[in-house]
Structure 1
Amino acid sequence: MSCLAPGVQAQPYNADTDENLFIMGGPFTTGFFGDTFLFWQDHYESNLFAGIGYQRFFYQYESFKLGVEAGLGLRLGTPSSAEIWGGAVARITEFTFGDLTITPALSFGLSLVTDTIGIEAQRAEALGHDVPVLFYLSPEIAISNAAQPQWEAFGRIQHRSGGFGTIAEIDGSNAAVIGLRYKF
């Protein structure tokens, strides 16, 4: 017996879904953007990032998707602060190995924080002024399984910077995060 109202059918998961919600978290690093890819090195701060986000895709061509991303995060340390970000996101869902799908993605936009922490605070002090608004860049690799394709685990870099001096001469902060995404 179905718990759904008469005439309402449960919809099967659609691999071409265009929305998702995600949670993520991980430590900030003391290095620069490129150093963060070397996750096995001991270059982590005691400060942590935790965030939630939303993505909506509005364009698809074969395995390429283009959309928007927005999120809200907490930067936990001394002092703690909040972050809000938004921008564009691109994904390629072409790499399948048996039941596993590997999905690289890249998000780019703007980030606003209530305060800088850790190495970013030191870099802002050396710069001589606060940097509440910086560019946001987030390369990502996600993995999903054919048995539950609506769920993805991912690793990404949560990066804030001045964009080669466009906003400011600063490589703000970099967090190496892992997360979980639900696509609908």
Structure 2
Amino acid sequence: MGFRGWATRAFVALLGVMSLTGAGLGQSVRDTDPTSLQTVFVFGGRYYSEYIENGLNPFKPAYENNYFVGAGYQRFLPGDWHQWRLGLEVGLAARFGDTTSAEMWAGGVARFDGIVLGNVRISPAITLGISAESGPVGVETVHAQEVPGGGDPALLFYMGPEINLSWADNPDLEVFWRIQHRSGAWNTLGNMRDGANATAVGMRWKF
């Protein structure tokens, strides 16, 4: 079985695990610690052909005809430091549009839960790690050709800055906006400078 077939089956299995987990989250979220140690999330978005900073305004980028849907799991260390929390994240995404491919990533996540405005908690977070893919997506192919000697985007660094919103009466459910970023970090990996960037929205469940 090729990487694409394996990744597709793993993605379906991960969604199945999340659906079973979700069945156990029916208790009142008021009875659950808002700083729960584990989370699962689903999200989706669209790739754009510019550098990561152009996605900070999601209405600005030149979007491609390439999209993704994904899911992930986070596990945090017990406790916090002045509302800062540290943990690990793994994720898997199916990408489609001009081409079809799969992406897997894993890394560390840092999150700040100290911004509360009325009944709304705003939690900025960032994930840093490694991303592997079964094939390039969109402008990633162009970036690989721009580098003298050619680049290989199969294994690159991953970065996922995001903003989370949750509510006081439902702290274990949140919505978020994230930039899905892959790059070689100035030719450190794969002889690549930039890889691919997408803006995304999603939902996360804490337990």
TM-score where L is the length of structure 2: 0.81
Could you list the runs of 5+ residues in structure 1 that have no partner in the other structure? 1-9
Q: Which residue of 2 aligns with 1:156?
A: 178
Could you list the runs of 5+ residues in structure 2 that have no partner in the other structure? 1-26
Kindly tell me: are residues 108 and 42 of structure 1, through their superposed partners in 2, closer, same or farther at Cα, counting changes over 3 Å?
closer
| Higher strand fraction (1 or 2) | 1
Q: Which residue of 1 aligns with 2:135?
A: 115
- One of 27, 35, 39 as aligned partner of 2:46: 27
Q: Which residue of 1 aligns with 2:67?
A: 48
Report the RMSD for the aligned CA atoms in angstroms: 1.4
Distance (whole Å) between structure 2 residues aligned to residue 174 and residue 44 of structure 1: 10
Q: Which residue of 2 aligns with 1:134?
A: 156
- One of 56, 73, 76 as aligned partner of 1:57: 76
Distance (whole Å) between structure 2 residues aligned to residue 16 and residue 39 of structure 1: 28
CA contact (8 A) 2:144 2:192 kept: no
Between 1:131-140 and 1:34-43, the stretch displaced more is 34-43
- One of 150, 165, 170 as aligned partner of 2:193: 170
**1:116-172: CA deviation from partner (whole Å, max 9, x where unpaired):** 011111211333232200000011000001111100100010000001222133210
Q: Which structure 2 residues correspond to residues 88-99 of structure 1 after superposition, within 5 A?
A: 88-99=108-119
Distance (whole Å) between structure 2 residues aligned to residue 162 and residue 136 of structure 1: 9
Aligned length: 175
| Higher helix fraction (1 or 2) | 2
The one-letter code of the counterpart of 1:147 is D
- 1:181 correspondence with 2:200: no
Distance (whole Å) between structure 2 residues aligned to residue 62 and residue 141 of structure 1: 18
Q: For the pair shown, which has the larger CA radius of gyration, 1 or 2?
A: 1
User: 1:61 is paired with a residue of what secondary structure?
Assistant: coil
User: 1:25 is paired with a residue of what secondary structure?
Assistant: strand
Moved beyond 3 Å, runs of 4+: none
How much has 1:105 moved relative to structure 2? 0.1
% identical equivalent positions: 38
Distance (whole Å) between structure 1 residues aligned to residue 146 and residue 100 of structure 2: 20
The one-letter code of the counterpart of 1:98 is G
- One of 138, 147, 153 as aligned partner of 2:169: 147
